[in-house]
Amino acid sequence: MSNFREAQNQAHPNKTNTLMLALIMILILNVSIQVWLLYTALNNALEKNTDIAFPSFIASSILFLIGFGWLYFLPSGPRVTK
Amino acid sequence: MATDKKDNHWKEDFPVYQLESTQVSRRDFAKFLCLVSGGLAVGSGYVAIKANFFPPDKMVGEHFVCKKHELPVGGTRSFVINGSTIPYILIRMENDEFRAYEQKCTHLSCAVFYKPGSGKIECPCHNGLFDAFTGEVLAGPPPRPLPRLTVVIKGEEVYVKDFKPDNDKPDPNRQSRS
Ligand code: FES
């Protein structure tokens, strides 16, 4: 029986390249949103509006978990039979 | 075969098959992005915890700065408060009012100074401008107003204490000036 990983490893390199690009794009997007969240939370906290800090922490953690789970789909490259 | 007799140690320096090698750097990059993402999440957590559970200490009581006559009109005097390292400036405005602010620009912590006669506090680093009456940002990159202290004048002596916004809410001088 073949699983997702094996099927992906047999895919054509063009396909895995596209996947890799999509993955990296999403990760970059996540990181930019997180940068923005941190910047906003910090500026507000320094201005003594602390309410925004916790929601932004939660949002940031969710984005991290998404990105982390996302790594499962990272193509591991064609297996070379030894 | 002849090739088997060759010294194959070079292979240890190239542990990745050529076919896979095009993806190695991008895989590492994706993992690195994930690491950065984790770091940002942790940073947000730190900000949240610090802001909610460990707020910065309020200044307690009044602190003597100097005598009134020691500061000419339009002059500035920098001071620190005992037990803290934050630099402050005391300004004697042209209309003989006193203002005290933290001297660290809210952008990147450069030292700000009062431009005599203009009613503005300037940051030389990236030309940030603050209103010397309220500490509000007038121009430039600073994201927040300058932290302010309340100035208390007792006869000839000038004291500062923690700033309470409602202390001088009407701010009549501000009105008359504009
Ligand atoms: S540090 Fe003051 S404007 Fe950048």
Query: What span, in angstroms and rounded, lies between the C-alpha atoms of B139 and B137?
Result: 6
Domain check: are B38 and B69 in the same one?
no
Domain check: are B148 and B130 in the same one?
yes
Per-residue pLDDT tens for B94-119?
887 888 888 889 888 888 888 887 88
Q: Provide residues of A within 8 Å CB-CB of chain B.
A: 13, 16, 20, 23-24, 27-28, 30-31, 34-35, 37-38, 41-43, 45-47, 50, 53-54, 56-57, 60-61, 63-64, 67-68, 70-71, 74-78, 80
Burial class (CB in 10 A: 0-12, 13-18, 19+), B167: exposed
Whether B4 is in a domain gets the answer no
pLDDT at residue number B3: 57
Helices (H) and strands (E) in chain B, counts: 3, 10
Q: Which domain holds residue B101?
A: 63-167
Per-residue pLDDT tens for A64-78?
999 999 888 887 755
Reported pTM:
0.69
Stretch B143-152: mean pLDDT: 86
pLDDT at residue number B165: 66
Per-residue pLDDT tens for B9-47?
887 888 777 766 766 778 888 999 999 999 999 999 999
- Give me chain B's average pLDDT, please: 80
Domain check: are B70 and B154 in the same one?
yes
Do B139 and B118 meet the contact criterion of CB atoms below 8 Å apart? no
Three-point CA angle B134, B138, B141, nearest 5°: 120
Give domain limits for chain A.
26-72
Question: Which residue, among B174, B7, B173, B156, has the nearest Cα to B71 in the 3D structure?
Answer: B156
pLDDT at residue number B1: 47
The answer to whether the complex's ipTM is over 0.85 is no
Name the pLDDT band for B4 (thresholds 50, 70, 90). low
- What's the CATH code of the domain at B126? 2.102.10.10
- Chain A residue numbers with beta carbons less than 8 Å from the beta carbon of B41 are 34, 57, 60-61, 63-64
Stretch B43-64: mean pLDDT: 83
Per-residue pLDDT tens for A10-63?
777 778 888 888 999 999 999 999 999 999 998 888 877 788 888 999 999 999
- Name the token pair of B81: 């408060």
Domain check: are B70 and B140 in the same one?
yes
Cα radius of gyration (chain A): 18
In B133-162, the residues whose Cβ lies within 8 Å of chain A are 143-144
Do B133 and B93 meet the contact criterion of CB atoms below 8 Å apart? yes
